[in-house]
Amino acid sequence: MKRYRGLWIFLGILGVLVPAGRGAAAEDAAVNQPKAKEFRIERSMPKEAVACLDCHRRESPGIFTDWAYSRHASANITCLDCHQAEEVDPDVSQGHYKQYERSEVPYSTKEYRVPVAGVVTPKDCSRCHPDEAKQYERSKHANTVEIIWKIDPWLNDGMNSVGERISGCYHCHGTVLKMKDGALDPETWPNVGVGRINLDGSKGSCTSCHTRHRFSVMEARKPEACGQCHLGPDHPQIEIYMESKHGDIYTAFGDQYNWNAAPGTWTPGVDFRGPTCASCHMSGAGTVLTSHDVTERLSWETQAPLTVRPSDFAAFPAKTNWEVEREKMTAICMQCHGKTWVDDHYSKLDLVVQEYNDMYFTPAKKVLDQLYEKGLLDKTRFFDERLEVEYYELWHHEGRRARMGTAMMAPDYAWWHGFYECKKRYNNYMEEARRLLETGRKAFRAEDFPNATGPTTKPAEVFGK
pLDDT computed for residue 40 by the predictor: 55
The answer to whether 196 and 175 have CB atoms below 8 angstroms apart is yes
The helix-helix angle for 386-393 and 420-439 (nearest 10°) equals 150
131 close to 282: Cβ distance less than 8 angstroms: no
Phi, psi of 180, rounded to the nearest 5 degrees: -145, 120
What is the rounded average pLDDT of the residues 58-66?
Answer: 94
Q: In what order do the strands lie in the sheet with 2-4?
A: 2-4, 9-13, 37-41
pLDDT of 20 strictly over 80: no
CA 95 and chain centroid, separation: 29
Of 55-59, 279-283, 440-444, 456-460, least confident by mean pLDDT is 55-59
**Residue 99: pLDDT band by 50, 70, 90 thresholds?**
confident
HSE-CB for 27 with a 13 A CA cutoff = 6
> pTM, whole model, 2 decimals?
0.88
* Cα angle: 163, vertex 166, 169; to 5 degrees: 115
pLDDT greater at residue 322 or residue 42:
322
Give the whole-angstrom CA distance, residue 445 versus residue 383: 9
Long-range contacts of 213-219 (CB under 8 A, 24+ apart): 213/63, 213/66, 213/67, 213/70, 213/72, 214/66, 214/67, 214/69, 214/70, 215/70, 215/71, 215/72, 216/70, 217/71, 217/259, 217/260, 217/263, 218/259, 218/260
What domains does the chain contain, in order, with CATH numbers? Answer: 2-118 (no CATH), 295-456 (1.20.850.10)
**Which residue type does 171 have?**
H
Query: What digits encode the pLDDT tens for the residues 356-369?
Result: 999 999 999 999 99
- Kindly tell me if the per-residue pLDDT of 248 is higher than 90: yes
The Cα–Cα gap between 270 and 400 comes to 34
Question: 4 in helix, strand or coil?
Answer: strand
> Does the pLDDT value for residue 64 go beyond 70?
yes
Average pLDDT, rounded, for the chain? 91
Least confident segment among 69-78, 355-364, 395-404 = 69-78
Q: Does pLDDT of 32 surpass 70?
A: no
The mean pLDDT value for 273-287 works out to: 96
Average pLDDT over residues 157-176: 97
Our measurement of the distance from residue 121's CA atom to the centroid of its chain's CA atoms, rounded to an integer in Å, reads: 14
Give me the mean pLDDT over the 77-101 stretch: 91
